[in-house]
Amino acid sequence: MNVKRNTIVRTLALCAVLLLVAGTASAQANFGKYVAIGDSLTAGFASGGLLAEVQERSYPALIADQAGVADFQQPLAGAPGIPPLLAIQGFANGSPIITPRAAQPGPPLNLTLQRPYDNLAVPGYDTAEALTVVSDPNNPLSDLVLRGLGTMVQQALVQQPTFVTVWLGNNDVLGAATSGIVIDGVTLTRRGDFRNAYRTILGAVAQSGAQMAVANIPDVTALPFVATIPPVVVNPATSQPVLGPNGQPIPLIGPQGPLGPGDFVLLSASGLLAQGIGIPAAVGGTNQPLPDQVVLSASEANRVRQRTNELNAEIGAAAGDFGAALVDVHGFFEEVKRDGFPAGANIIYTTDFLTGGIFSYDGVHPSPMGYAVSANLFIDAINARFGDSIPAVNLIPFIFGPDGSAGSTIPAAGLGNGNAVFSNAAYDGLHASLGLPPMSELLRIRDNREKRPDKGGDAPRLGIDRPKSSRPTLSLSIGQ
């Protein structure tokens, strides 16, 4: 009898737990107080900088609009942007030149807001920094957003949010792909370090009682900045590969010799290629090899992809453990890379640089259309997880209206032959905004690692990992 009674008690208790879980799963998303945590992708960063007209179309701002949030504040930047946004500034031999549209950044527009912002994303921050860094003297965007009021996570939680979106992890792998220098613990965050920081953040949000939606990391080796320039000599007049005597494309010259089909040439190499560097003398080049920092070798690319997959596994596991909606940006981006994004009859957006419509002029961050699509990915995941019915963002104004051209300066003359030249100034600004040390410092760290007998992935730190204090400085007077 006691056994039977105990069985009944256990059964009733189990039913109560199941009902509680079911009730939680079906509870609608509560956007009474919505806060966004993230990096540049959450901040609405595009074409190398922050600009109010693009930030107002960031995916958190669009989600807030669709969810009926009346007051969603962001650290808006005035024209020409902070840093100044990139633009097509003329042509060289038919190729568009991409460079900052101004020498000095614009002013902050609402720096004196008397409370933390709702969009607290800081461009350049990795996951650990979202948890620990209040101010970075070499990243003025840190003070633009956080204003010394606490870390990103602290400022999010002090607002007692009811819903939080978290898109972190991009800067834990992105620096390796865009710098061509893959260093564990510096340009690639170690899996264990990421796990600890990420689960701490989600745990803190969950403990606050807020609902969550989290996004994973796309394949950064497929970004236009990485994947646009083929590893072969291209005729600038026709944009077609130059064929050798054997009828095969002629490979470019990399730091270790001729490049192979799995190697990547970064957009930062475009100016060097225009000077003949990396091109064999037999076809009019200098026969000088491209430097390591503008080439991502096949083996390096594989390391970046492997780490991305590892961190995405951590994100997926944490989302399940903490009851968050999971936004599979990685899977969606793979589909778009393969098939394009159909936005209507005969309208296909692609990941192509400049002409695809998904990415901005820096080849890393989305265009306003890309952010609108991202917002809909979040909304779909939120609706599915919480049984909600938040309406999707209407993409028509981003396809045919002014929303899609926000922050862009495509000239009437068009894009020429499409072989864009990414200026040194454009790359320097992008490199700094991604939270990376100067290239000279990265090369020094890599060279030191290569001399060490314990240079493998589990090598102990020697005080040279992630040397933030030596980042290049973006000039910005926060007091203006």
94-147 residue pLDDT tens: 788 999 999 999 999 999 999 999 999 999 999 999 999 999 887 889 999 999
Whether 80 is in a domain gets the answer yes
- pLDDT-based confidence at residue 27 (cuts at 50, 70, 90): low
Q: pLDDT value at position 10?
A: 38
In whole angstroms, how far apart are CA 337 and each of 219, 224, 345, 354? 10, 10, 19, 15
Can you list the pairs that 296-299 forms with residues at least 24 positions away whose Cβ atoms lie under 8 Å?
A: 296/177, 296/180, 296/182, 296/221, 296/226, 296/263, 296/264, 296/266, 297/254, 297/256, 297/262, 297/263, 297/264, 298/260, 298/262, 298/263
Question: In degrees to the nearest 10, what's the CA dihedral of 123, 129, 132, 134?
Answer: -30
In this structure, the number of other CB atoms found within 10 A of the CB of residue 20 comes to 10
Same domain, 148 and 191: yes
Residue 256, in any domain of the structure: yes
Q: Same structural domain for residues 79 and 157?
A: yes
Q: Are residues 136 and 275 in the same domain?
A: no
Residues 162 and 242 in one domain: no
User: Which of 134-143, 340-349, 403-412 has the least mean pLDDT?
Assistant: 403-412
More confident call, 125 vs 458: 125
pLDDT at 404: 79
Q: Decide if pLDDT at 16 tops 60.
A: no
Domain contains 15:
no
The number of CA neighbours under 13 Å toward the Cβ of 150 is 12
- Pairwise CA distance, residues 48 & 69, whole Å: 28
Its pTM stands at 0.87
CATH of the domain at 38: 3.40.50.1110
Residue 392: which residues within 8 A CB-CB, separation 6 or more?
66, 376, 379, 380
Residues 6+ apart with CB under 8 A from 402: none
Please calculate the CA angle 111-207-117 and round it to the nearest 5 degrees. 10
Quote the pLDDT of residue 365: 96
Q: Say yes or no: 342 and 380 in one domain.
A: yes
Confidence band for 454, pLDDT divided at 50, 70 and 90: low
Q: Is residue 104 part of a domain?
A: yes
Q: What is the pLDDT of residue 138?
A: 77
pLDDT for the residue numbered 407: 76
Residue 201 lies in a domain: yes
Coil, helix or strand at residue 263: coil
Residue 109 lies in a domain: yes
Residues 312 and 285 in one domain: no
Residue 286 domain boundaries: 232-296
Residue reference for tokens 């602290």: 154
Residue 429 has pLDDT above 90, yes or no: no
Domain boundary among 266, 296, 326: 296
Please tell me whether residues 241 and 199 are part of one structural domain.
no
35 contacts 159 by C-beta, under 8 angstroms: yes
In a domain, 423, yes or no: yes
Give the tokens for residue 54. 């693009």
Residues 369, 266, 361, CA angle at the centre, nearest 5°? 30
Residues 292, 303, single domain; the answer is no
Domain membership flag for residue 468: no
Residue 312 and residue 213 share a domain:
yes
Q: How many other C-beta atoms lie within 10 A of the C-beta of residue 29?
A: 23
Task: Please check whether residues 117 and 82 belong to one and the same domain.
Answer: yes
Determine contact, residues 358/336, Cβ cutoff 8 Å: yes
One domain for residues 285 and 390: no
CA dihedral 65, 70, 73, 78 (to 10 degrees): 70
Residue-wise pLDDT for 362-397, tens only, equals 999 999 999 999 999 999 999 999 999 999 999 999
| The two structure tokens encoding residue 24 | 């939680």
In the prediction, which pLDDT does 448 show? 87
**Same domain as 241, residue 203:** no
What pLDDT was estimated at residue 463?
A: 25
Quote the pLDDT of residue 179.
94
Q: Is pLDDT larger for residue 257 or for residue 460? A: 257
Q: How far apart are CA 60 and CA 440, in angstroms?
A: 36
Which pLDDT score, from 0 to 100, does residue 452 have? 62
pLDDT score, position 415: 53
Say what the pLDDT of residue 437 is. Answer: 83
- Quote the pLDDT of residue 430: 87
Give the pLDDT score at 8: 33
Question: Average pLDDT of the chain?
Answer: 87
Give per-residue pLDDT as tens, 182-234.
Answer: 999 999 999 999 999 999 999 999 999 999 999 999 999 999 999 999 999 99
Residue 139 confidence (pLDDT):
84
CA pair distance 364, 359, nearest whole angstrom: 7
Average pLDDT, integer, range 63-80: 97
Q: What's the full length of the chain, in residues?
A: 480
Q: How many structural domains is the chain composed of?
A: 2
Instruction: Kindly indicate the confidence band of residue 3, based on its pLDDT and cuts at 50, 70 and 90.
Output: very low
- pLDDT score, position 136: 87
Q: How confident is the model at residue 344 (pLDDT cuts 50, 70, 90)?
A: confident
| Backbone dihedral angles phi then psi of residue 59, each to the nearest 5 degrees | -65, -35
